[in-house]
Structure 1
């Protein structure tokens, strides 16, 4: 008997529970009316001829009215909850591109909004996984093949000590490149599949840029570069880790493509609507045709100076700026240097 009752409860469904709720509201309303009517006539007005049974005449009209109202509200709520339930069911089956119409969410409009955000994040994770797997197999083939080839040469045992040292150096270099490529590709895939910036905090952008320059001090000191700043206080509200990648990549590029004894100048300016941070160098510069290509994945500027890179830094920079509703401006002259200007709306300040 107990099992059958439990089964009945589990099979009752949301609409059944809402109907029971309507009946409870109806009965409760009538009881309250009868109690109020009795107290008013018998206790308050001392109407001892009052017959409580006379209030039963109101039972049917009140029942119909209250039941109609509660049923209408319950059906509306049931419709909204059903939409949400169907969406959750699709998510459970792996369909992450589900979207609920927030404008027709009624009392659950905020829930619909949060549900859509959840779907976007789940969909981005799924996209990240697929994109990373596809691009991993394509772009990582060369360093893996190189490591495999030189490892086999070492295993043959017919190498001189000089060759062993050379091959091990190549393997170590390719391994480092593979790690860097993995990290950069994973970050870019994550950014590409992301639509909103989360984990925002308030901090000073000028201080963050200085800290990034300090992190790279060994690189620009090695080339005897002069790095100068003109950065007033810049309060900012955003994802500090994400913006850190932005400045590191821009500064690394400026250092990489600037020859010895060159200069790097970092400055900012603002107006009523936006902040501009510019990073200028006296490096090799670029042509207009090269500027059009630099934001493509794995593209590297070809020039007389041999510079190693992954070709992912600027695509990462561009995507971060887009996520922050900003712009990136590039001006460059071959042989004279380049200026990368990051424009961010004041709403982030």
Structure 2
């Protein structure tokens, strides 16, 4: 069998040899001319060594020059320059950059393109969430500050009636408490998101914790004449009691807040095959399907719950979700508008 590659290989070898000999001859004539001009006649061995060094230098220089002239222009750069340019833009905060998906056909380059696009997409999503978060925080802070400033200015008026003065002071106090709760919830979220979150699981009675929290907010549900139906199985779990209490408080308070006077709130604790399930249900205003998809997002509040009278910052359910996730559990909601809502928390048994 003939190997067509061998003649070409032999030709390249002969060409390289002729090129090398030509370079040495050129080096010989250059050094000889230099010796004649300087009137110097070195030893034959030294002359040979100088010829070899000069020939090597000329060969490298000539090869580099030929390579610069005849090499396909920026062939390697054409493959990787879009990637390096994209990474440079990402480093400056431009996460909208996307590389041409057609480059994915080129082996390793394609894998790099896919990775860079995936990274840019995730960073872009995080940047949008950050901007929304900053906007929501600014809105939540600005609203009570505007009320405090307005009513503080109103207090400067001469001849203000005592009843009006007390009303303005009550509003200022309520808005100050609202700011305080917002600050507290932001600090809670920051601590829950931190890798150094204070997490100390220990065995305790979950049913007793839920019963104590329900009794602690008795003035709220009794003031609205709500029926509080409680069915708690005896349950001992290993968890961080303080962290989970934040989840139960937020869920119970939400059910009470959004249930009209004379309604019902049900709290249940039952064992399944692998989990303890806590259900907190109400007969309140309910949550639409579109709102359910975003109900655990930070600062998200359904339109009807954005009324000033309901208060809240939209952080309670985000805190509850994070606290449950830290215990490797899950939280879900089932609801229809006008038919109440049921939150189910599953914790590993």
User: What is the TM-score normalised by the length of structure 2?
Assistant: 0.57
Q: Is the CA contact 1:196–1:323 (under 8 Å) kept in the aligned structure 2?
A: no
RMSD over aligned Cα atoms: 2.4
Tell me the distance in 2 between the aligned counterparts of 1:296 and 1:206: 28
Q: Secondary structure at the match of 2:269?
A: strand
Q: Aligned ranges for residues 149-168 of structure 1 at < 5 Å?
A: 149-157=150-158, 159-168=160-169
Instruction: Give unpaired runs (5+ residues) of structure 1.
Output: 1-131
1:148 corresponding residue in structure 2? 149
Match of 1:316 among 311, 315, 319: 319
Q: Secondary structure at the match of 1:209?
A: helix
2:330 corresponding residue in structure 1? 327
Matched, 1:228 2:229: yes
Tell me the distance in 1 between the aligned counterparts of 2:278 and 2:338: 23
Q: Is the CA contact 1:285–1:338 (under 8 Å) kept in the aligned structure 2?
A: yes
Tell me the distance in 2 between the aligned counterparts of 1:275 and 1:159: 58
Tell me the distance in 2 between the aligned counterparts of 1:300 and 1:307: 11
Deviations 1:203-250 (A, max 9, x none): 010110000000010000001111112211111111111111111111
Larger radius of gyration: 2
Deviations 1:323-345 (A, max 9, x none): 11111110001111110000111
Superposed displacement of residue 144, structure 1: 2.4
Superposed displacement of residue 297, structure 1: 1.9
Q: 1:199 to 1:134 in 2, by over 3 A?
A: farther
Q: 1:271 to 1:162 in 2, by over 3 A?
A: closer
Q: Secondary structure at the match of 1:180?
A: helix
Q: 1:137 to 1:329 in 2, by over 3 A?
A: closer
Matched, 1:173 2:174: yes
Superposed displacement of residue 196, structure 1: 5.9
Q: 1:142 to 1:303 in 2, by over 3 A?
A: closer
Tell me the distance in 2 between the aligned counterparts of 1:147 and 1:196: 34
136-145 or 208-217: bigger deviation: 136-145
Q: Is the CA contact 1:197–1:323 (under 8 Å) kept in the aligned structure 2?
A: no
1:213 corresponding residue in structure 2? 214
Q: Is the CA contact 2:281–2:343 (under 8 Å) kept in the aligned structure 1?
A: yes
Matched, 1:307 2:310: yes
Q: Is the CA contact 2:191–2:197 (under 8 Å) kept in the aligned structure 1?
A: no
Q: Secondary structure at the match of 1:293?
A: coil
User: What is the TM-score normalised by the length of structure 1?
Assistant: 0.57
Count of aligned pairs: 215
Instruction: Give unpaired runs (5+ residues) of structure 2.
Output: 1-132
Q: Is the CA contact 1:282–1:337 (under 8 Å) kept in the aligned structure 2?
A: yes
Q: Is the CA contact 2:330–2:345 (under 8 Å) kept in the aligned structure 1?
A: yes
Tell me the distance in 2 between the aligned counterparts of 1:289 and 1:133: 23
Q: 1:197 to 1:168 in 2, by over 3 A?
A: closer
Tell me the distance in 2 between the aligned counterparts of 1:181 and 1:159: 31
Tell me the distance in 1 between the aligned counterparts of 2:179 and 2:265: 29
Tell me the distance in 1 between the aligned counterparts of 2:163 and 2:277: 52
Q: Is the CA contact 1:291–1:330 (under 8 Å) kept in the aligned structure 2?
A: yes
